[in-house]
Every structure is written in C-alpha cells, then in structure tokens.
Amino acid sequence: MAEAADWLHDRLGCALQRRELLQRALTHRSCGPEHNERLEFLGDAVLALVVSERLVADFPAATEGELSRRRASLVSGTTLGALALELGVDHWLRLGAGARRSGVERRPSILAGALEALIGAIYLDGGLDAARLAIGRIFADRFAELAAAGPQQDPKTCLQEWLQARGLGLPAYTVEATSGAPHARLFRVRCAVAALDLAAEAEGASRRSAEQAAAERLLADPRLRQSA
C-alpha cells in the first residue's frame, strides 16, 4: 500500500495515517470479505454533503431544484466513474482473479464505488476538512465548468438529455388527476423512466408546469444516479 499511498498524496493531497483504510477502499468484493462497500456507503454521504456546500456557496441565486440538478450531474455514477479513471483508480484496485480477467476495474460503476470508498476512507482518517480538500481537487475542473456554464436548462430538458446521454429511453408523462374549478385547475402529472423503473409525481396549475415539477423531482431522486 505504500505506493498507493504515495499516489493518493500526489493526486489528492491526502496522507492517510491509517493505511488499512486505504487498502479497504481499494478492495473490490471479489477480493474477499474485507471489501470497500461500507466505505462506499459513507463516502457517498460525505460527497453529497461537500458538493452541496460548494454549490450553495457558488450559486447563491440558484433554486433548490437547480442545485439538486447540478449536484445530480456531479455525483452521477457516470461522472464519478470518469473522474476515477482520470485519477488512475483502476490501476490500484484490488480484485479477485476472475474479476481481474473480466476487466471490471474499468467499469464505471466499479470505479465510481471505489472513488466514493476513497472519500469515505479520507473522511474517517482526517475528518471533514480532509474530505473537503480531496473532493475539491477531484472536482476542480467540474466545478469550474459549472460556474462557466451559466443558468441550467429547464428540468424536462435536463432529464431528457441525462437519459439520452446514457442510452436510455425518453421519460413518459401522464396526467394522473385533475381537480379544482375551471379557472383554478390543478394537474397531477406522473413522470416515469421505464428503463430504470423510477417515477415521480407533482402538481401544477398547468400540465406543463406539473410536468416540469415532476421531472425536477425525479432529477433530485438519489435513486436516479444509483440506477444508471
């Protein structure tokens, strides 16, 4: 683990005192019972907190929905997998022989999980400040890209583009119910993504506003990135 520790220090500025945490973070379940899934669970929560803090600071005028969409794009499995590959996490993963032969170390989901596990290990070793430093380095370019991009598109467009980028089908919108007087109609719309078996409902004063609200709610659902 000495070489892996040097790599982590060079790339993320972290000098872990507890080397066993680094070893576990880089151990896939195919390598034995002392694997990284518990650290992955912890790292996922730490990442969400730190990214949320950064977005709130960087976008003081953004709505909750806009912040949720930005966070979802940053911490999606696809983004995390790409970042892990850029960092060279695949080179340090400890895998069982069968898993190594199948090339799973370059799968986005495996890489994303290992990166989250590393964040969890850094948090346990050095606390939240150490995790903030590491996450700031990992996401430096992505944060800069978001800042330069300006306002985001509407939720329906964001959801459609997110799904299309992953080769998934378009979302389906259905009016589940209408209520109220003709001059004060309220629509309840369901937005469903069949490929991921996910759906969300929302209400609005028009069908369009209800569709936008349902899409926004689905984009904010953490299960969306976990399923992709």
What does the pLDDT look like over 55-91, one tens digit per residue? Answer: 999 888 777 877 887 888 888 888 898 899 999 998 8
Domain boundary among 89, 124, 149: 149
How many structural domains is the chain composed of? 2
Mean pLDDT on 116-133:
96
Mean pLDDT on 117-131:
96
Domain boundary among 149, 181, 212: 149
Tokens of 193: 């993504």
The domain containing residue 200 runs over which residues?
155-227
Predicted local confidence at residue 223, as pLDDT: 80
Is 126 in the same domain as 173?
Answer: no
Is 103 in the same domain as 185?
Answer: no
* Average pLDDT of the chain, as a whole number: 86
Residue 129 bears catalytic tag: no
Which SS3 state, helix, strand or coil, does residue 197 take? coil
Predicted local confidence at residue 165, as pLDDT: 78
Predicted local confidence at residue 224, as pLDDT: 80
What is d(CA 167, CA 118) in angstroms, rounded to the nearest whole number?
29
Is 138 in the same domain as 191?
Answer: no
Dihedral angle of Cα 103, 109, 111, 116, to the nearest 10 degrees = -160
Which SS3 state, helix, strand or coil, does residue 63 take? coil
Is 159 in the same domain as 145?
Answer: no
pLDDT-above-70 percentage for the chain: 92
Predicted local confidence at residue 153, as pLDDT: 67
pLDDT tens-digit profile of 195-213?
Answer: 899 999 999 888 888 998 9
Annotated active-site residue in 90, 105, 116, 211? 116
Taking the whole predicted model, whether its pTM rises above 0.85 is answered as no
Residue where the block lists tokens 């979802």: 72
Q: What single-letter amino acid sits at 131?
A: A
Is 130 in the same domain as 29?
Answer: yes
CATH number for the domain that contains residue 205: 3.30.160.20
Q: Please indicate whether residue 22 or residue 107 has the higher confidence score (pLDDT).
A: 22
Residue 103 has pLDDT above 70, yes or no: no
Cβ-contact 22, 5 below 8 angstroms? yes
Annotated active-site residue in 44, 90, 125, 211? 44
Is 123 in the same domain as 85?
Answer: yes
Is 159 in the same domain as 131?
Answer: no
Predicted local confidence at residue 60, as pLDDT: 81
Residue 183 has pLDDT above 80, yes or no: no
Is 122 in the same domain as 187?
Answer: no
Q: Which of 7-16, 104-113, 148-157 has the lowest mean pLDDT?
A: 148-157
Q: How many helices (H) and strands (E) does the chain have?
A: 12, 3
Is 71 in the same domain as 162?
Answer: no
Is 144 in the same domain as 172?
Answer: no
Is 165 in the same domain as 83?
Answer: no
Which SS3 state, helix, strand or coil, does residue 44 take? helix
CATH number for the domain that contains residue 116: 1.10.1520.10
Predicted local confidence at residue 157, as pLDDT: 83
Domain boundary among 94, 128, 149: 149
Predicted local confidence at residue 7, as pLDDT: 87
Is 162 in the same domain as 145?
Answer: no
Cβ-contact 134, 43 below 8 angstroms? no
Residue 44 bears catalytic tag: yes
